[in-house]
Amino acid sequence: MPSNAARRAPSRPSSDRPYMAETQFSLRIPNRPKAVRRALVEICGRTDASGSGPDTVGRIEITLAEVLNNVVEHALRHEEEGEIHLTATRKNDGWHFDIRDGGVAMPGGIVPHPDLPGNNCPLENLPEGGFGWAIVNTLARDLHYRRRAGGNHLTFVIPEH
């Protein structure tokens, strides 16, 4: 839990303070696509306000959309209730995300690392999905998954360049 001073960190590092102070926020996101949408808008607002540039904010939004929609569509797909807990922490190397849900385990117990669906095929065979984890694997660093106490726990970093 960061101190209040850390929470009020200035949004951009100044030249005499090369290490950015930690900024952190948490959200609880209900198990519905519309709630994921609202959470993404909120997160973009906060990461932008803390001084991250549009490219970083864009990569955060794309990555989190895939991760959170996967939880709703897969981990919690048989549940009517359920919440996703998200914590975002800005560190020197980028934004660290910690995402937990109480849904079914990732099949195989690891983060899927699918190939991108092929696009070199006749029109009628073009893929309409299956892109999610391929996108996440491309944009996120230090992607870790653990199953613990009947829930899923995913952590990763979106680097800031």
Partner 1 sequence: MNLSRHETADACVISVNETRIDAAVAIQFKDRMRDKTEDAGARIVLDLGQVEFIDSSGLGAIVAAMKQLGPDRRLDLVALNPNVDKVFRLTRMDSVFRIFDTLEDAGAL
- Which of helix, strand or coil describes residue 137? helix
128 binds a second copy (CB under 8 A): yes
Residue 92's CB: how many other CB atoms inside 10 A?
11
154 binds partner 1 (CB under 8 A): no
- Which of helix, strand or coil describes residue 108? helix
Among 19, 78, 149, 161, the residue binding partner 1 under the rule CB under 8 A is: 78
Please identify, using beta-carbon distances, which residue of 66 and 160 lies nearer to ligand ADP: 66
* Conformational region of residue 143, where left means phi above 0, alpha means psi within -120 to 50, and beta covers everything else: beta
Please identify, using beta-carbon distances, which residue of 26 and 125 lies nearer to a second copy: 125
Please identify, using beta-carbon distances, which residue of 56 and 63 lies nearer to ligand ADP: 63
List the one residue out of 65, 58, 129, 131 whose CA is nearest residue 99. 65
Residue 29's CB: how many other CB atoms inside 10 A?
24
* Conformational region of residue 41, where left means phi above 0, alpha means psi within -120 to 50, and beta covers everything else: alpha
104 binds partner 1 (CB under 8 A): no
- Which of helix, strand or coil describes residue 92? coil
18 binds ligand ADP (CB under 6 A): no
Give phi and psi for 48, each to the nearest 5. Answer: -65, -45
Among 45, 130, 141, 144, the residue binding a second copy under the rule CB under 8 A is: 130
Which of the stretches 5-13, 28-36, 43-51, 125-133 binds ligand ADP when contact is defined by CB under 6 A?
Answer: 125-133
CB of 137 to a second copy, least distance (A): 12
**Chain positions contacting partner 1, by CB under 8 A:** 33-34, 36-37, 40, 54-55, 58-59, 61-62, 65-66, 69, 72-73, 78, 80, 116-117, 119, 123-124, 126-129, 131-132, 134-135, 138-139
